[in-house]
Chain A
């Protein structure tokens, strides 16, 4: 974390007669030449050409002012205090930090400088923290020290401040400096994080760190404390909000916070009817032995969970309750995630389904394979590679499991897939439905506006403005489909075709190819099967996989 990015810190003062002058600099000689024995031989910056940015006009004071010169970035916060007790009624200074120009995340230094500027201003206003030290300074160098640098200002508090801030921020990324009995400066470099993406109800959060192991309470956010126990890489956000009995939007926000701090990654809803396929990153996995080992450790089922295995197995560390629990879940013979995830927790879910599925397979083989697996306790990288590379577009996980039964022994399928998704070498092929009648009315409207104006008028109640049409077509959101669902007869038709019950209409708005089945299912709280049946009923609907 400490990068030693700060190359120098210096304190510039503006004197109404003598101009801008560097009063303190760490290290010595970094800004203006210094006669100190430890001084740098060459200043980092040409001070004379940057004074106008260090001490700018009133307009630019009390703002963060940065500029690049000589491949360094100077981050300053010029302050101008206007008060009667100063000569010319103003006191101007700048406490600036120098980092290298290429430092990517220099924003955190900007924050530190801003804070320091404000603090110094306060200290000066309160008790003349800065001006007190200056007595005699401006006179004694009248003989003309080069660049006006004061040498050996060891007793100076401001110099000490420069020194401590530089060292501590460079070494520990934070510092605490007591100024007097009532003031302390606390600084910390906070890395800049990317803005979090919006969280959807069908996203599945998975913690990347163990939040439960934190000793201090995680947060005072009640929603967050309530949802964290349910974040396990299986429950979707909407499901979590149900389980934790929290408001969905607050839940989404809480998850967004976790995402922002990198505590959570987002997955899709795991299901055996889903399709996964490798991305271009798969090459990285195949060539990376360490990733394969990590994967093998991650996906391995720690012990065989079947009763029969317990009987024949000699593993003593096997815990009873665990195996009984899973054998219980293994009776839920449908590999239906929607169903299962209500009952089981993370590790048992897919193994349960494996065991249930594999009951159909040869018993004998199973035994022997497990036996081997137990002895070796290891999944070979070849198996992993073979399994991953055999995933492809158009192949449901269900069928894939059946195709690869033998190799999947001792492997937690959900973890196997999740591992790939987390590492980015697998992607979920989402399913979408497109109904031409939902997409088209709008589309034809935009493309052939002049030809069929009558339609438009009757439907929208007002003549469509040409300016509006393209914009609407551009936004695939529900808002636009709702507004521009112009063809009453279309809607009516869909409604009648789709089904007898009233759920047809909410479904229709998802058929524009923008909403994945995960999303539709979560929204409507229906199983994928039911949704698909309804969708197919809604006339000529095309299913897309993307």
Chain B
């Protein structure tokens, strides 16, 4: 079980490189217009990347890091102040933060970017000032990108054909160029011509293309299926400046054209969309893979599809090159020119959108044309079962739970059906967003979304509203994947919730007024959190009256959404322990010698068994000591719990009831037989399945299709018998 790393794309720049017969290798476009300077990258980077500060010193790494350790770094500042006031000498003191800043001359540019990441709201404001700030420096430097001479860089980024459709990964010191080069086929086409014989091939080609694209990004919703739906994207002028495009009015035209006029010798032979990253050394493999798999490759495929359809990439490239050439001659500044390019060329705009979103770890929605839009993102973890310690990267606010952990031995039923969907935005906001995003009809989707409540499982919702289970599941997985929702165990007043140890306390500032605006008449956020952070109790104990119930459940959903609380779940194992049973050899070591008439623990005045307190140990103390117990001297390691070669059966914990060995099964049967209540006895085998410490008892009801009351009754009885090791965590 490992901690998910905080999202950090470490993306610096996106480059589009083409190789054509007429122009050779050419860096067509890069975004943002002004990338970190050569000094910042080369001089500053090298020691930091491999050296002591690994990621702290690297350009983007540092900014991500500072947010990773956010709360702690901030505390750091406090401490500095504190120690000053408390008499600590300020002389030799360098806060980690300061050190960082001093060692990074390039921080001026990228330091600004930091705030963008931290505060989404600010983005526009900041983004502008960002641009202006950069405008002072190399804004007229047309010859370098990322501190490299463009002519050298573009050659380097045009790999040989061996790299076709492969991952192109080139590291220069600490930065890495990740690309997905696409080459034209030897026959001059950009896609495999199928059914060449069928001359009226428009449709065929179109569908092939559709298939391709569908395969490539699994989101085929907006793809044109017929010729009729073809509309030129905004700003797209067919035939702009080049003969190739003149034929593009008819779809097949481009193909035919390239066949006849240029005779299978298209001008552009390759394009490579290159993402420039700067990952910390230890995260290198992960970050590069994430970027390539989720963004680079997919985007390149889409571009290739566009290129195959209308030679789009090349015509746009020529347009961009033209604008750049003119601007360069006019002596204009980069940022102004880039503005112009982004406004005129859709291709440039896509790249800009992609960069802005991905660099700030968000989702990029790109409308490729009227009928085809898709989204790109690097998926992020939405929960973790693992609470980081002080030495590990922190991700405050990440939902802490085991409910999303997939255990390998889950039985067929998909977990999704029993889960509820917690929308991360309000339903109406979400619907509005979706409407603006997609061009198709959103009515059905809106219907689903409006009916989603976090207190009911998807199964129940679909039954209630007559929605097909698959549809529901599809919508759910879609929303989850695009970070609009999370799958949670249905919220229930009888379940217990605690303040999550991973809650982001630094967000409290912002959360309190947001909460107050939403729940004005109810107890304040600190109050509620305070209630929930005491001794764990079922949530219903905090609900004053029945009328409040709904509002309080809303509060709970709100808290859940922000990662403030998490469900405290119950896990258990079976522990056979009874004396006078199949086994006489015992390793359970009683605390009291039978000979001495010691009072038993329950007789103690201070001994108050807690609800979680396990009784078995008391029973164990009553049984006579086995003479063989000396075998297990402390020096000897005790045998593993499943060894059957062992002389006698030591009643140790049954780790997995479903994989119980012979002796364990006998124990389990025997335990089942001890229950007097028939309901308990009947349900025991079903309950047993969940007593492996991996499945929460809270989930049993839904999965076995029984009422939760029944489960808890049985549970109570079994626990009463002292057969269980019980532990509660998230």
Residues of chain A whose beta carbon lies under 8 Å from any beta carbon of chain B? 46, 48-49, 52-53, 56-60, 63-69, 102, 104-108, 110-111, 192-198, 200-201, 203, 247-250, 253, 259-260, 265-266, 277-283, 286-287, 289-290, 293, 296-297, 360-362, 364-365, 368-369, 371-373, 375-378, 380-383, 385-386, 388-390, 392-395, 402-407, 409, 421, 424, 427, 429, 432, 434, 436, 439-440, 442-444, 446-448, 467, 470-471, 473-479, 506, 509, 512-515, 519, 523-525, 542-546
Contacts and interface: CB of A to CB of B under 8 A. Distances in A.
Contacts of A381: 638, 652
B587 interface: yes
A59 B38 CA distance: 11
B725 interface: yes
Contacts of B477: none
Given A247-B88, A467-B125, A46 B162 contact: yes
Given A372-B593, A476-B509, A67 B533 contact: no
Counting from the closest, the 3 A-B pairs by CB-CB distance are A394-B535, A59-B152, A66-B171
Given A278-B729, A476-B509, A104 B612 contact: no
A195 B65 CA distance: 9
A409 B591 contact: yes
B69 A390 contact: no
A506 B78 CA distance: 11
11 contacts: A46-B162, A64-B171, A67-B169, A278-B729, A287-B653, A287-B655, A405-B606, A424-B387, A439-B526, A513-B526, A519-B75
A69 B282 CA distance: 21
Given A111-B50, A289-B640, A386 B617 contact: yes
A286 B92 contact: no
B345 interface: no
B389 A403 contact: no
B513 A440 contact: yes
Interface centre among A69, A203, A250 (most CB of B within 10 A): A69
A277 B729 contact: yes
B533 A467 contact: no
A381 to B, nearest CB: 8
Contacts, number: 378
A385 B509 CA distance: 39
A476 B71 contact: yes
Given A107-B50, A440-B513, A477-B74, A368 B505 contact: no
Contacts of B598: 364-365, 368-369
Contacts of B118: 471, 474
Contact of B613 (A105, A198, A375, A403): A403
B506 A361 contact: no
A395 B78 CA distance: 30
Contacts of A362: 599, 604
Interface size class of B (residues with CB under 8 A): 35 or more
A441 to B, nearest CB: 10
B662 interface: no
B509 A473 contact: yes
Contact of B530 (A67, A389, A544): A544
B285 A104 contact: yes
Contacts of A259: 391
A265 to B, nearest CB: 7
Contact of B162 (A69, A421, A478): A69
A509 B85 CA distance: 13
A470 B412 CA distance: 47
B592 A546 contact: no
A137 B391 CA distance: 55
A432 B564 CA distance: 14
A197 B390 contact: yes
B73 A372 contact: no
Given A56-B156, A59-B152, A65-B171, A514 B634 contact: no
A545 B500 CA distance: 9
A49 B181 CA distance: 14
B592 A281 contact: no
Given A200-B79, A286-B573, A470-B119, A247 B534 contact: no
A365 B616 contact: no
Contacts of B640: 289
Contact of B402 (A280, A382, A403): A280
Interface centre among B46, B389, B634, B655 (most CB of A within 10 A): B389
A250 B89 CA distance: 10
Nearest to A253: B94
B469 interface: no
B73 A198 contact: yes
Interface centre among B83, B169, B612, B727 (most CB of A within 10 A): B727
Nearest to B573: A286
B505 A278 contact: no
Nearest to B91: A247
A32 to B, nearest CB: 15
B729 A280 contact: yes
Contact of A198 (B96, B153, B392, B590): B96
B43 to A, nearest CB: 11
Nearest to B515: A443
Interface of B: 1, 42, 46, 49-50, 52-56, 65, 69, 71-83, 85-86, 88-89, 92-96, 115, 118-119, 121-122, 125-126, 148-149, 152-153, 155-156, 159-163, 167, 169-173, 176, 280-282, 284-285, 385-387, 389-392, 402, 498-501, 503, 505-506, 508-510, 512-514, 517, 524, 526-527, 529-530, 533-536, 568, 571, 573, 575, 587-593, 596, 598-599, 601, 604, 606-610, 612-614, 616-617, 620, 629, 632-634, 637-638, 640-641, 652-653, 655, 693-694, 725-730
A192 B54 contact: yes
Contacts of A52: 155-156, 160
A475 B70 CA distance: 9
A447 B514 contact: yes
A545 B78 contact: no
Nearest to A513: B508
A546 B505 contact: yes
B74 A390 contact: no
Contact of A365 (B119, B599, B617, B629): B599
A433 B11 CA distance: 39
Nearest to A106: B284
A265 B591 contact: no
Contact of B152 (A57, A196, A440): A57
Given A446-B513, A478-B77, A471 B694 contact: no
Contact of B387 (A53, A279, A542): A279
Contacts of A389: 612, 614, 725-727
Contacts of A66: 169-171, 176
Nearest to B726: A389
B509 A443 contact: yes
A524 B87 CA distance: 11
Nearest to B613: A390
Interface centre among B149, B634, B726 (most CB of A within 10 A): B634
Contacts of B503: 546
B505 A506 contact: no
A478 B77 CA distance: 7
B506 A476 contact: yes
A545 to B, nearest CB: 4
Contact of B85 (A46, A49, A193, A506): A506
A128 B514 CA distance: 71
Given A49-B160, A49-B163, A403 B608 contact: yes
Nearest to B639: A289
A376 to B, nearest CB: 6
Given A201-B79, A372-B591, A544-B529, A59 B149 contact: yes
Contact of B535 (A296, A375, A393, A447): A393
Contacts of B53: 195
B74 A475 contact: yes
A290 B637 CA distance: 8
